[in-house]
């Protein structure tokens, strides 16, 4: 995996040394469209429902202590720091990570990757770079969209069941949400994007054994990406809590 990233970086640098774009912009935009625009509906849907459920449950608990007014703060902070990045990571690992592994795996199994390499084009530069960059840059964007949808979902249900007006909800969100929380969420999501993309591409390029191999690689890619994302999330939390309290 380290080999793949190193190979890609050095191929890109060599390419730039002769003053040529490392990859074609249209390939990059195509991947961005797929990763970003394509994932918006699923990300929004998931976040709205998770936000909604969280507001409902915390509201239900806090109501007993008469602390319903805390719901906006609780939901928005936990969504920004934790749920937003994590759910976006899971959505992308299953939607895009799987697709990357499957398509690169099929290309490897069919000898297409070797053919590209054999032309002297540089397979990692041509195939991997646009994909990795797209998922790396767009995971944070999707995270922001996810966070906003989650908060909107929470506000919606709070308005219905907890009698908190939209105005009050968003005022509370604004006062309680610190720049620090937003930064924590966004920095994490950069890591997640990089992890998912790297694992997916690596698993794709190392496929052995035809169609079944592609299937196994895809499963393994999604499973390892989700596990690594969750592990990385805990690690980031520990670091954030320890060093930026």
Partner 1 sequence: MSTTSNILVEMRGVKLKFSDKVILDGVDISVREHEVLVILGMSGGGKSTILNLLMGLIKPDEGELIFKDEDLVKLTRSKLNTARSHMGMVYQTAALISSMTVRDNIGLPLQELSEKHEEEIDSIVDAKLELVGLKDVREKLPSELSGGMQKRVGLARALALEPELVLFDEPSAGLDPINSRLIDDLIIGLRETQKVTSIVVTHQMESAFFVATRMAFLHEGKIILEGEPEAFRQSDNPIVGKFLASYSEHKKDKK
Binding site for partner 1 (CB under 8 A): 7, 10-11, 14, 24, 103, 106-107, 110-112, 114-122, 126
Least distance to partner 1, CB of residue 9, Å: 12
Residue carrying structure tokens 């959505």: 91
Whether 222 and 239 have beta carbons less than 8 Å apart is answered as no
- Residue 23 or 192 having the CB closest to partner 1: 23
Query: Measured between alpha carbons, how far is 145 from 14 in angstroms, rounded to an integer?
Result: 36
Least distance to partner 1, CB of residue 197, Å: 19
Whether 71 and 58 have beta carbons less than 8 Å apart is answered as yes
- Residue 16 or 160 having the CB closest to partner 1: 16
C-alpha closest to that of 188 among 73, 79, 86, 41: 86
DSSP letter (8 states) at residue 64: T
Least distance to partner 1, CB of residue 137, Å: 23
Give the pair of three-digit tokens for residue 172. Answer: 């509370």
Burial class (CB in 10 A: 0-12, 13-18, 19+), 212: exposed
Helix (H) or strand (E) holding 224: helix 210-243
- Residue 11 or 172 having the CB closest to partner 1: 11
Least distance to partner 1, CB of residue 1, Å: 18
- Residue 111 or 167 having the CB closest to partner 1: 111
Least distance to partner 1, CB of residue 138, Å: 21
Whether 104 and 201 have beta carbons less than 8 Å apart is answered as yes
Q: What is the DSSP track for 152-184? A: HHHHHHHHHHS---HHHHHHHHHHH--HHHHHH
- Residue 11 or 233 having the CB closest to partner 1: 11
Least distance to partner 1, CB of residue 110, Å: 7
- Residue 74 or 106 having the CB closest to partner 1: 106
């Amino acid at each position: 995996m380290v080999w793949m990233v190193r190979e890609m970086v050095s191929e890109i640098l060599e390419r730039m040394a002769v003053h040529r774009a490392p990859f074609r912009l249209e390939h990059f935009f195509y991947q961005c469209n797929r990763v970003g625009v394509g994932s918006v509906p699923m990300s929004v849907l998931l976040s709205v429902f998770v936000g909604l459920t969280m507001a409902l449950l915390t509201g239900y608990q806090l109501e007993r202590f008469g602390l319903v007014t805390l719901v906006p703060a609780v939901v928005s902070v936990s969504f920004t720091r934790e749920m937003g990045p994590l759910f976006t990571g899971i959505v992308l690992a299953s939607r895009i990570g799987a697709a990357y592994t499957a398509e690169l795996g099929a290309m490897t199994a069919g000898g297409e990757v070797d053919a590209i390499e054999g032309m002297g084009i540089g397979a990692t530069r041509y195939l991997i770079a646009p994909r990795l960059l797209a998922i790396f840059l767009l995971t944070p964007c999707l995270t922001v969209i996810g966070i906003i949808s989650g908060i909107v979902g929470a506000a919606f249900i709070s308005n219905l069941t907890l009698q908190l007006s939209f105005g009050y909800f968003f005022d509370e969100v604004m006062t309680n949400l610190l720049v620090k929380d937003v930064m924590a969420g966004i920095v994490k999501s950069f890591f997640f994007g990089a992890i998912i993309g790297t694992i997916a591409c690596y698993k794709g390029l190392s496929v052995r054994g035809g169609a079944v191999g592609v299937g196994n690689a895809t499963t393994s890619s999604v499973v390892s990406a989700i596990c690594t994302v969750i592990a990385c999330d805990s690690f980031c939390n520990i670091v954030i809590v320890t060093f930026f309290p």
